[in-house]
Structure 1
Amino acid sequence: MDKFTTLTATAAPLNIKNVDTDKIIPARFLKTIKRSGLGKSLFADMRYDEQGAENPAFVLNQPKYRAAHILVAGDNFGCGSSREHAPWALLDFGIRCVIAPSFADIFFNNCFKNGILPIALPEAVVAKLMDDASLGTNARLTIDLERQLVVRPSGEEIAFTVDAFRKHCLLNGLDDIGLTLEHAPAIAAYEAKQPAWLPKI
């Protein structure tokens, strides 16, 4: 998992409440267990028409947001069914941070496990960031995880909270496997002490 330290990037405004996981990645695209290749299907029902052509009105199809790495969204983002494909699709598109007034719990947890930083901020603050995002590449946001700050284009710093353990994992690029491998020497030492007749794992 890639480390998340400081990110300065264009933010795309998605001013829609209750964006569920089926909107993020429709169920018909859940046939794969690979994490790559899902970005093209992110928000598919909003990004494309029935013939598969791009909807020019959808934010991520607009030239200034095609390379966005931050998404500023409405309340209750990631609600609906629990599917890890939702953060996979966001990450594969290039989104590393989602800012919203609130998130569905399972989606929120899955983001951290996949290298995405979800930031919950008061609705009035998110509205300001939505205005910043509407300026496209002329106004970039900075996310400083170490200092736990969102920096607006004006220079205003907005503090956010994040669990200390999750912050540690993101800063160091540690998913569940990475956390286990941090203890590889202790695991190897334990295995070496086992009697020879015990099956090896």
Structure 2
Amino acid sequence: MSNQFLDLIQNRRTIYAIGRDVKQTPEQLTDLIQTAIKQSPSSFNSQSSRAVILFDAHHEKFWEMVKEKLQEYAKDEAGAAKTNARIDSFKAGFATVLFFEDLDVVKSLQAQFPSYADNFPIWAEHSTAIAQFATWTALTADGLGASLQHYNPIVDEQVHAAWDIPSTWKLRAQLVFGSVEAPAGEKTYMDDTVRFKVFQ
């Protein structure tokens, strides 16, 4: 069965070898990212997802910030060198999207609907995950490679200060993207019988 959407998500893979040979302008990419996030569903249409899109020097600044912070956790020179190489591979990309959830939105919904209060933080995590997936897939459809990283919360304080981020925005993930310089490796799947039950 042919399905264009399934084709797109099958092509969406983690691409670590990324570069800056990108034909799209920052303005075009900003529009793509904003549209993907705006069209992503959220509980009660809360639209709690937020994003900060970093190009050029801002993109490089973020990954230098991460690299510097990670040095505090390095146990030896070899470990530090390996970490630096990994971060430099992200820095070699074209741009980074920082995904946040606005906790003020979550708290407001908890106050409005107390019977669901415990669920709203969980549903906010669903919302950001969908927004991340939608953005990643949209970038893939545009011929770009990306990988989703999670260097929060170790850089949260620096990020909020560097880009004047509202204190209620909680950093959840970082999607770094650029031109595909090397394809993803082969992906393996567990047997369907382990993951699915079908009754008909």
Tell me which interval the TM-score lies in, with the shorter structure as reference length. Answer: under 0.3
Task: Decide which structure has greater helix share.
Answer: 2
Bigger RCO of structures 1 and 2 (CA < 8 A, at least 6 apart): 2
TM-score, length-scaled by structure 1: 0.25
TM-score, length-scaled by structure 2: 0.25
